[in-house]
Structure 1
């Protein structure tokens, strides 16, 4: 009976979202690229905020961030709370410049500021990153997260079943959930365009907020019938988990908030095509700013469903669930506290979050290909309908490829721990180039293109070079081959007085996030120097495309200031800086 109720509530909510989305978007015009890729520039603040939030939320955060909170406590809220400040900067600085240019993609803006080569390089970087890494990972982590959080095997009555249709049950479930998510997400993204994605995101967002709040409510009431009393119990029992200041050994040390964490957040919310494409579809600057700032307030509330459950799980399971299995914390909490009658609804809410991330990334990939590759490089004379058709075909191919590749990632869990780090490979160079493009008028295209290539190679070497060199050095020493003195620093285990161990430098106090900050600052400095040596003969002046009404929202600055003050107040309320002083004294 419980399985029947779960299935019915899942199908009902998922179907309801689909029906409402169709009713709200059935009159949309998809005959032009602006209509298909930018929702005809008709999105209002509510849809923009909802779509921004749901595109960002996925099982990676539900599982990963709550797992990090299980280990490190509330300090991991940095990824969510700092995003609030990034969205203020987006609303007040970046968005007016984007909408003024009338662009559909970030590479398009870079072409206007620099040249065609800059656009081509960034278009290919985004497409490869989304199609080759992001989409399969969204599907795989989404499917495995959904299976684990909801215990789908037992929920569907397959607990004791070894095979289904001759296929191992776990393998069958993985493929089935991946293709279920992929097919539904593809329908929204490919056949509906950006407005369909934004509307479905907003509806699914309401479901996820309710579902996430249910987990917090039932988690707290499992500790004490009074949720407020339960919070006090948590704070008294686990005071170390309620410090917003991350120590040097936490996953988010406090000092990294001012370097890599800040830069990755700024790129993600101001430059990442997958995220900000819906802001390009704003009906006006006023509506765009409303949506972005509303998303900022929602982000600073996100720790309630993305961090607090991890602390609740620690309180309940820390004696039985080791830190090495911290990513299982959220699933164990859901299985323990969620009443069976809500399981189907929560499953639909989780799938909605996964769908949102998938269909947004797929829509952005199709947009980048159609406008940045097909129309720009392959067929410059293509009609509007041909451009849209190319996006649909490319999106279909990428979707099918992702759905096929995603299940094959099973057993390769280690690659997902590096996902945030891998983002730095292209996040940092592109963001540095974009910022120079916005803040300067005479830095030439050569500087931007050189920075893109040098930045990518530098970060790649910083990530992979030391490990490769140490491996080669170890093999050489094992084979009795002496190392040249110039290379002895890479293998300090055999050198008594090593000058430098670059690999441990990145993994130790220097931290990968600080490394990204140094690379970013170096790229900025390099481009400024090139701009001084060989400046543009004619300074760049941004032209108003007239695409939308550029009247600012009168409350944008006051609301932005309030949002920043709220972020600082949250950090101040939970701050205990003694964790830094104690670490410095040891």
Structure 2
């Protein structure tokens, strides 16, 4: 292990921890609103950075670069196309949330259907966080740190025991920061990560190209642009990581769910001081998503030219950093990766505690104390599960998306029907959830249907909606549902939102033209 790298890592981590602690000390949460929503006083920069860094973590860095290394740029669709969805959510969904004054997305389901539906969905959310989101974040961070520092060689432990050790350390740190600062502390760390990411972090493609060009980055860039240009194609074919058609089927549904319904994402927006800040924050996060391919995808392409192949493709990102970057920068990036993972982990456990305390234990005494105890228990569960992700098949990122869809799109389906209809009853929501989850689980883990899982999601979405509408015709609600307004913040929209939407969507289209046979992949 390089001593300079280790020193740079600890200095960066210590500086960030001190700044977060200092901010958390001034704004220590003493109420549920402070712990879970930052007292609903977050500006657009805090909201935007909170959204972007609750969204990306070490799993994103490792998983997406692995897929570009072994495939092509088609995997960038997960981030780039979500920008369009984010603008739709900011215009149509978030205003409803802020006007109704809800604290969790299942709160809407209670208003629209009944208490049992809210409880069922809250349990599904928690199950997703416990078995999928939180363990994968810890595992990704552990793999990255092991790859960068060679902890197993330093300690003399085997690879798997080292993963256990790193997972436990990251989990403990994440829980400590969450208990200390709540959502407010997380947004402070998210803002710092944003500044670090979009300054020093984006130097990695330069270092990689310079290494490829034997000291000359222009030579390295020319190699990438003229050799194996099929890797630069984002228009995925049937056998690529992301077939282009899936962007308009299951991926659209997953992204709509994620940005409009996922609790740990929506919670960032619910902490906004007003609707305008919320919409500006979403636009800022969208701009960040369009820059992130430089870190999430392009390094994998350059690495394919440097290495050709690796024994373990999941290690490509950390291997690239270690081999091409100066020691100080390697330490800085290690801290950045750890920080990004901690931010997502904190968002996950904070939102899980929100769901547990406000939805499942509402009215029980000792709300703050219960929340903190639940966060500790949740962390322990995630630490115990995370190392076993090592044995999953098909790549970390694909596994994460496939398993996450088991919980996400069924919830989004009943949300959509709830928004667009007035007489579909609670019975339809319960039947729809059970039907969707059972069919999707069978298609992915029991029977091989010979179809991309994103297309399966789209088909089940349509069938489930039709099933719910049929139940609504058979046994409709006695009275039509009417939304009740309960504004907790100012809900005047941002006046420049349409201009921002147009510019971001134009950039999305332009990015796809650049990474296509019409552009760099010709």
Could you state the TM-score of these two structures normalised by the residue count of structure 2? 0.93
Q: Which residue is equivalent to 1:233?
A: 223
Question: Residue deviations 1:351-380, cap 9 Å, x none?
Answer: 1011112111111111111111111xxxx3
Shift of 1:204: 2.5
Q: Which residue is equivalent to 2:40?
A: 41
Once residues 125 and 22 of structure 1 are traced to their aligned partners in structure 2, the CA distance between those partners, rounded to angstroms, is 33
Are positions 1:6 and 2:5 aligned together?
yes
Once residues 126 and 399 of structure 2 are traced to their aligned partners in structure 1, the CA distance between those partners, rounded to angstroms, is 19
Q: Which residue is equivalent to 1:249?
A: 239
Once residues 513 and 325 of structure 2 are traced to their aligned partners in structure 1, the CA distance between those partners, rounded to angstroms, is 33
Once residues 409 and 74 of structure 1 are traced to their aligned partners in structure 2, the CA distance between those partners, rounded to angstroms, is 25
Q: Which residue is equivalent to 1:435?
A: 416
Q: Which residue is equivalent to 1:317?
A: 307
Q: Which has the larger radius of gyration?
A: 1
Q: 1:446 aligns with which of 420, 427, 434?
A: 427
* Structure 2 counterparts to residues 250-289 of structure 1, below 5 A: 250-289=240-279
Q: Which residue is equivalent to 1:90?
A: 89
Q: 1:515 aligns with which of 456, 461, 464?
A: 456
Q: Which residue is equivalent to 1:330?
A: 317
Kept in 1, the 8 Å contact 2:264–2:351? The answer is yes
Kept in 1, the 8 Å contact 2:132–2:403? The answer is no
Question: Residue deviations 1:500-549, cap 9 Å, x none?
Answer: xxx2xx33xx3221111000111122222333343333222222212110
Kept in 2, the 8 Å contact 1:69–1:311? The answer is yes
**Structure 2: segments with no counterpart, 5+ residues:** none
Once residues 317 and 105 of structure 2 are traced to their aligned partners in structure 1, the CA distance between those partners, rounded to angstroms, is 36
- Further displaced range: 131-140 or 411-420: 411-420
SS at match of 2:71: helix
Kept in 2, the 8 Å contact 1:256–1:514? The answer is yes
SS at match of 1:38: helix
Shift of 1:227: 4.2
Once residues 318 and 395 of structure 2 are traced to their aligned partners in structure 1, the CA distance between those partners, rounded to angstroms, is 21
Once residues 496 and 68 of structure 2 are traced to their aligned partners in structure 1, the CA distance between those partners, rounded to angstroms, is 35
**Structure 1: segments with no counterpart, 5+ residues:** 467-502, 579-586
Q: Which residue is equivalent to 1:390?
A: 370
Are positions 1:177 and 2:166 aligned together?
yes
Q: 2:175 aligns with which of 183, 186, 193?
A: 186
Query: Per the alignment, do residues 405 and 526 of structure 1 end up closer, same or farther by CA in structure 2, a change over 3 Å counting?
Result: closer
Q: Which residue is equivalent to 1:346?
A: 333
Shift of 1:577: 8.2
SS at match of 1:250: coil
Shift of 1:39: 0.9
Q: 1:402 aligns with which of 368, 382, 387?
A: 382
Once residues 244 and 29 of structure 1 are traced to their aligned partners in structure 2, the CA distance between those partners, rounded to angstroms, is 45
Kept in 1, the 8 Å contact 2:212–2:305? The answer is no
Once residues 507 and 226 of structure 2 are traced to their aligned partners in structure 1, the CA distance between those partners, rounded to angstroms, is 24
Question: Residue deviations 1:406-457, cap 9 Å, x none?
Answer: 3455545668452211112111110011111122222222211211111111
Once residues 3 and 414 of structure 2 are traced to their aligned partners in structure 1, the CA distance between those partners, rounded to angstroms, is 54
Once residues 71 and 390 of structure 2 are traced to their aligned partners in structure 1, the CA distance between those partners, rounded to angstroms, is 27
Q: Which residue is equivalent to 1:308?
A: 298
Kept in 2, the 8 Å contact 1:208–1:350? The answer is no
- Further displaced range: 298-307 or 25-34: 25-34
Query: Per the alignment, do residues 211 and 413 of structure 1 end up closer, same or farther by CA in structure 2, a change over 3 Å counting?
Result: farther
Kept in 2, the 8 Å contact 1:208–1:352? The answer is no
Kept in 2, the 8 Å contact 1:208–1:353? The answer is no
Q: Which residue is equivalent to 2:353?
A: 366
Once residues 325 and 150 of structure 2 are traced to their aligned partners in structure 1, the CA distance between those partners, rounded to angstroms, is 12
Shift of 1:335: 1.9
Once residues 347 and 476 of structure 2 are traced to their aligned partners in structure 1, the CA distance between those partners, rounded to angstroms, is 38
Kept in 1, the 8 Å contact 2:132–2:404? The answer is no
* Structure 2 counterparts to residues 454-465 of structure 1, below 5 A: 454-465=435-446
Shift of 1:553: 0.4
Query: Per the alignment, do residues 258 and 18 of structure 1 end up closer, same or farther by CA in structure 2, a change over 3 Å counting?
Result: same
Could you state the TM-score of these two structures normalised by the residue count of structure 1? 0.84
Shift of 1:172: 4.8
Q: 2:401 aligns with which of 392, 407, 420?
A: 420
Are positions 1:292 and 2:272 aligned together?
no
- Further displaced range: 393-402 or 217-226: 217-226
Kept in 2, the 8 Å contact 1:106–1:273? The answer is yes
Query: Per the alignment, do residues 452 and 408 of structure 1 end up closer, same or farther by CA in structure 2, a change over 3 Å counting?
Result: closer
Kept in 2, the 8 Å contact 1:150–1:334? The answer is no
Shift of 1:331: 2.6
Kept in 1, the 8 Å contact 2:113–2:426? The answer is yes
Question: Residue deviations 1:455-509, cap 9 Å, x none?
Answer: 111111222332xxxxxxxxxxxxxxxxxxxxxxxxxxxxxxxxxxxx2xx33xx
Once residues 482 and 110 of structure 2 are traced to their aligned partners in structure 1, the CA distance between those partners, rounded to angstroms, is 13
Kept in 2, the 8 Å contact 1:150–1:331? The answer is no
Once residues 422 and 153 of structure 1 are traced to their aligned partners in structure 2, the CA distance between those partners, rounded to angstroms, is 29
Q: Which residue is equivalent to 1:204?
A: 193
* Structure 2 counterparts to residues 112-151 of structure 1, below 5 A: 112-151=111-150
Q: Which residue is equivalent to 2:52?
A: 53
Once residues 73 and 413 of structure 2 are traced to their aligned partners in structure 1, the CA distance between those partners, rounded to angstroms, is 30
Query: Per the alignment, do residues 407 and 515 of structure 1 end up closer, same or farther by CA in structure 2, a change over 3 Å counting?
Result: closer
Q: Which residue is equivalent to 1:575?
A: 516
Kept in 1, the 8 Å contact 2:121–2:411? The answer is yes
Shift of 1:280: 0.9
After superposition, the CA RMSD in angstroms is 2.2
Kept in 2, the 8 Å contact 1:92–1:289? The answer is yes
Once residues 197 and 171 of structure 2 are traced to their aligned partners in structure 1, the CA distance between those partners, rounded to angstroms, is 19
Once residues 397 and 136 of structure 1 are traced to their aligned partners in structure 2, the CA distance between those partners, rounded to angstroms, is 13
Aligned length: 517
Shift of 1:150: 4.2
Once residues 228 and 525 of structure 1 are traced to their aligned partners in structure 2, the CA distance between those partners, rounded to angstroms, is 55
Once residues 170 and 515 of structure 1 are traced to their aligned partners in structure 2, the CA distance between those partners, rounded to angstroms, is 36
